[in-house]
């Protein structure tokens, strides 16, 4: 009896599927191409691998640069061409694509997506973003942190010199993440929080945060299966991490309240002074301050460390590029001391090296937007509520745009090019574009160039060979998640250039 019931249900599902498919295909709406063999309930999920941006790229080669797929019950438009990208981020951005999709992770970590990265486009979002630009991320403020950056890079190079003297291997990403988090902590909180200085090690919180942020939630794509997220325990673990993070940040804010500095000494002080300002244009509550601090820290520390790790990986894979870069650095910075930011500004090849790293290894790949109304794109009908993903990874490796060697690491391709990473050209948008462009790109670029120049000038780099003889220098495997870092750690043995 139970077997007959099961067979009947399967048959009914199959017939319903055929009936619905017939209705959809006979409708007058012109939909973008979709992969064949999408399945009831799961949609196209069975056609995707762990690195979704790569799966999207492979499917787009077959179905075109504008492709409609289904994540469970959720329609998702994948854009892999600069022309339509320009329509989305500029032409239609204000009216239709200015808002981001908010996942379960966003709702847990960012209080329903009220932070700068995910808040709905409007006056509150503009005020929050302007606060960060005016008091932390504009060019004048970024330049004012020059001495602080120099101090922390000296701390990094001292650790590397100690490793050189003992021929010890180092886990490069860990050192880079310590550098970026320490700098952001000092600028934002007024001091470091790395365990060595006592108290909480915010770097560990950052790693745990990023681990969970990329988790798959059934409820995001299968509303009827949201109960699986609860019984799996992932949701409770994320809430626990978020509570610890909120408690940590709240204690920092409270310390600043008690200190009651007459003049702001860091970004938290600045936010508190704005909170007290009776003439301010919008209310800034304690929870808003904590959300802004999350944005400033978690959007900058990990992504900058990832860019540096990938760039060092590529330079070690291409020793001729490493030599060319070192020759340029030595010609501009001929002394035996640290490379300065003024010297970095004169290094054209260094700029090309960073740009090529961003081209091949962009971060934050799959932060989707959402269409708020029905619209036509490239002759296709896009329904309101459709998630839209611009596959930056695919666009920046497009053979028609970048040439037959688009998959190769070649910094020279950027010599004489007027395409930059500021989001003005949809062929190259590693920091996004339009109103949702990353406000911290200037901060990230200054730190990345200065760090890389000092690492290359002062040290030789040899990749650690594992016990099985494995050399991960040529390994470009990617981890899954929002911040696409290396899947396997880059463990290196540094040595002094002039030793």
The span from the CA of 367 to the CA of 388, in Å, is 9
Asked whether the beta carbons of 421 and 441 are under 8 A apart, the reply is yes
| Contact present, 284 and 276 (Cβ < 8 Å) | no
Q: Please provide the average confidence, as pLDDT, over all residues in the chain.
A: 85
If pLDDT is split at 50, 70 and 90, which confidence band does 12 have? Answer: very low
Report CA-CA distances (Å) from 363 to 353, 418, 484: 16, 22, 6
Contact 250, 266 (CB under 8 A): no
Short-list 81, 46, 70, CA closest to 391:
81
- Inter-residue contact 425 to 414 (CB < 8 Å): no
Q: What are the DSSP E strand ranges found in 280-418?
A: 369-370, 375-377, 380-382, 387-390
Say whether 171 sits in a helix, a strand or coil.
strand
Q: What local confidence, expressed as pLDDT, does residue 281 receive?
A: 67
pLDDT single digits (tens) 53-70? 999 999 999 999 999 999
Confidence band for 93, pLDDT divided at 50, 70 and 90: low
Residue 79 to residues 55, 63, 438, 481: CA-CA distances in angstroms?
A: 13, 11, 19, 19
Helix or strand or coil: residue 301? helix
State residue 305's pLDDT score.
93
Q: Which pairs with CB-CB distance under 8 Å and at least 24 residues apart come from 273-282?
A: 274/131, 274/135, 281/127, 282/123, 282/124, 282/127
Rounded to an integer, what distance in angstroms lies between the CA atom of residue 219 and that of residue 107?
12
Biggest alpha carbon–alpha carbon distance for the chain: 86
Question: Based on the structure, what is the number of domains in the chain?
Answer: 1
Please give the Cα distance from 447 to 484 (Å, whole number). 19
DSSP one-letter string for 249-298: HHHHHHHHHHH--SS--SHHHHHHHHHH-TT-SS---HHHHHHHHHHHHH
Residue with tokens 């790109």: 441
HSE, CB side, 13 Å, CA atoms: give it for residue 368: 21
Tokens 């909180």 correspond to 189
- What's the pLDDT at 20? 53
Give the per-residue pLDDT at 2. Answer: 42
| 18 against 156, higher pLDDT | 156
pLDDT at 1: 40
Let me know: does 457 contact 347? Beta carbons within 8 Å: no
Which of the listed ranges 307-321, 352-366, 455-469 does the model predict with the highest average pLDDT? 307-321
> What pLDDT was estimated at residue 323?
97
Ranking 24-33, 282-291, 295-304, 400-409 by mean pLDDT, the lowest is: 24-33
Which of 120-129, 179-188, 194-203, 213-222 shows the highest mean pLDDT?
A: 179-188
* The pLDDT of residue 348 is above 90: yes
Structure tokens at 202: 């915010």
Sheet strands side by side (includes 459-463): 170-171, 491-496, 459-463
pLDDT band of residue 445 (cuts 50, 70, 90) is very high
DSSP tag of 416: T
Residue 466 pLDDT: 54
471 pLDDT more than 70: no
- Highest average pLDDT, of 209-223, 297-311, 345-359, comes from 345-359
For 236-268, how does the pLDDT look when each residue is reduced to its tens digit (9 = 90+)? 888 888 898 899 999 999 999 998 887 888 899
Average confidence (pLDDT) over 150-175: 95
- Is residue 195 pLDDT above 80, yes or no? no
H/E stretch holding 150 reads helix 146-166
Q: Which of 499, 445, 114 is nearest to 290 (CA)?
A: 114
Which pLDDT score, from 0 to 100, does residue 15 have?
42
The label of the residue with tokens 């020759």 reads 327
The pLDDT > 90 percentage for the chain reads: 44
CATH number at residue 169: 1.10.630.10
Asked if 484 and 313 count as a contact pair (C-beta separation under 8 A), the reply is: no
pLDDT of 19 > 50? The answer is no
Residue 445's nearest CA partner among 172, 151, 143 is 143
Tally of CB atoms within 10 A around 155:
14
Among candidate residues 493, 489, 497, the one with its CA nearest the CA of residue 310: 489
State residue 202's pLDDT score: 79
Measured CA to CA, the distance from residue 302 to residue 299 in angstroms comes to 7
Rounded to 10 deg, the angle between the 286-298 and 172-188 helix axes is 150
What is the arrangement of strands in the sheet containing 74-79, beginning at the earlier edge strand?
A: 66-71, 74-79, 387-390, 369-370
Mean pLDDT of 157-168: 95
Range of the domain at 93: 2-496
- H or E stretch including 142? helix 139-144
Distance CA 69, CA 387 (A): 10
pTM: 0.88
Locate tokens 């391709």: which residue? 413
The confidence band for 418, taking pLDDT boundaries of 50, 70 and 90, is confident
User: What pLDDT, in 10s, does the model give residues 163-186?
Assistant: 999 999 999 999 999 999 999 999
pLDDT digits (tens, 9 = 90+) for 109-135: 888 778 888 888 888 888 888 888 888
Whose CA is closest to 378, among 27, 31, 24? 31
Q: How confident is the model at residue 9 (pLDDT cuts 50, 70, 90)?
A: very low
**Residue 5: per-residue pLDDT:** 39
Asked if 374 and 384 touch (Cβ cutoff 8 Å), the reply is: yes
Tell me: pLDDT of 341 over 50.
yes
pLDDT above 70 coverage of the chain, percent: 89
C-alpha distances (whole Å) from 471 to each of 176, 393, 467, 468 are 21, 26, 10, 9
Are the C-beta atoms of 192 and 182 separated by less than 8 Å? yes
Contact 148, 187 (CB under 8 A): yes
- Give 269-308 pLDDT, tens digit per residue: 999 988 887 666 667 889 989 998 988 877 788 889 999 9
């Amino acid at each position: 009896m139970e077997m007959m019931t099961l067979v009947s249900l399967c048959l009914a599902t199959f017939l319903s599927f055929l009936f619905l498919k017939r209705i959809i295909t006979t409708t007058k709406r012109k939909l973008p191409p979709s992969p064949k063999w999408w399945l009831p309930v799961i949609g196209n999920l069975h056609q995707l691998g762990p690195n979704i941006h790569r799966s999207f790229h492979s499917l787009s080669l077959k179905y075109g640069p504008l492709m409609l797929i289904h994540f469970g019950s959720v329609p998702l438009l994948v854009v892999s061409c600069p022309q339509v990208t320009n329509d989305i981020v500029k032409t239609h951005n204000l009216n239709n694509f200015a808002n981001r999709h908010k996942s379960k992770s966003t709702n847990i970590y960012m209080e329903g997506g009220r932070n700068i990265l995910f808040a709905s486009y409007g006056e509150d979002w503009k005020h929050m973003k302007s606060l960060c630009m005016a008091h932390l991320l504009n060019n004048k403020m970024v330049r004012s942190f020059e001495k602080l950056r120099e101090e922390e890079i000296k701390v990094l190079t001292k650790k590397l010199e100690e490793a050189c003297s003992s021929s010890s291997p180092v886990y490069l990403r860990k050192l880079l993440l310590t550098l970026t988090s320490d700098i952001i902590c000092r600028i934002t909180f007024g001091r470091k929080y790395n365990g060595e200085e006592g108290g909480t090690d915010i770097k560990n919180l950052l790693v745990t945060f990023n681990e969970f942020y990329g988790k798959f939630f059934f409820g995001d794509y299968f509303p009827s299966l949201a109960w699986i997220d609860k019984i799996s325990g992932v949701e409770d673990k994320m809430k626990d991490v978020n509570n610890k993070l909120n408690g940590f940040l709240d204690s920092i804010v409270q310390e600043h309240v008690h200190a009651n500095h007459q003049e702001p000494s860091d970004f938290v002080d600045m936010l508190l002074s704005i909170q007290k300002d009776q003439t301010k244009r919008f209310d800034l509550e304690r929870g808003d301050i904590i959300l802004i601090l999350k944005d400033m820290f978690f959007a900058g520390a990990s992504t900058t460390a990832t860019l540096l790790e990938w760039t060092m990986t590529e330079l070690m894979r291409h020793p001729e590029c490493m030599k060319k870069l070192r020759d340029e650095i030595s010609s501009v910075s001929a002394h035996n001391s640290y490379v300065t930011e003024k010297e970095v500004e004169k290094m054209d090849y260094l700029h090309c090296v960073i740009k090529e790293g961003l081209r091949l290894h962009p971060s934050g790949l799959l932060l989707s937007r959402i269409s708020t109304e029905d619209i036509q794109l490239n002759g296709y009908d896009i329904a309101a509520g459709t998630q839209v993903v611009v596959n930056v990874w695919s666009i920046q490796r497009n053979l028609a745009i970048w040439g037959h060697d688009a998959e190769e690491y070649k910094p020279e391709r950027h010599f004489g090019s007027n395409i930059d990473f500021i989001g003005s050209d949809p062929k190259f948008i590693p920091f996004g574009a339009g109103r949702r462009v990353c406000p911290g790109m200037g901060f990230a670029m200054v730190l990345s160039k200065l760090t890389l120049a000092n690492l290359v000038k002062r040290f030789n780099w040899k990749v650690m060979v594992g016990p099985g003889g494995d050399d991960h220098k040529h390994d470009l495997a990617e981890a899954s998640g929002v911040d696409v870092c290396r899947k396997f750690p880059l463990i290196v043995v540094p040595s002094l250039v002039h030793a």
